[in-house]
Amino acid sequence: MCQHLPPCPPADSVGREAARLVAYHPEQGWGLLCNGVVFFDDTGELLPDGRSLVPAQAGPAYAGHTGRVQVGAPASAA
């Protein structure tokens, strides 16, 4: 049970991503929210009841974007 004030939104609500972060593993690409939702860098989610939510579909401008930031990556030539 969430002890935060105001309480975090439940895992089955539309605003579930607004729950507080309790564990984050950027090297593995996932994090755990207070409401039990595991979220992934590709925007997919695993709910506490075992259901999975597919990653959000990116528009044409973001085709191929993995959701990860490459620090120090060379800028593309314009």
Name the maximum alpha-carbon separation found in the chain.
Answer: 51
Query: Is the entire prediction scored with pTM above 0.85?
Result: no
Q: What is the pLDDT of residue 26?
A: 94
Cβ–Cβ under 8 Å, residues 22 and 33? yes
Model pLDDT, residue 70:
37
* Mean pLDDT per 10-residue section of the chain, whose length is 78 residues: 88 92 95 95 92 74 42 45
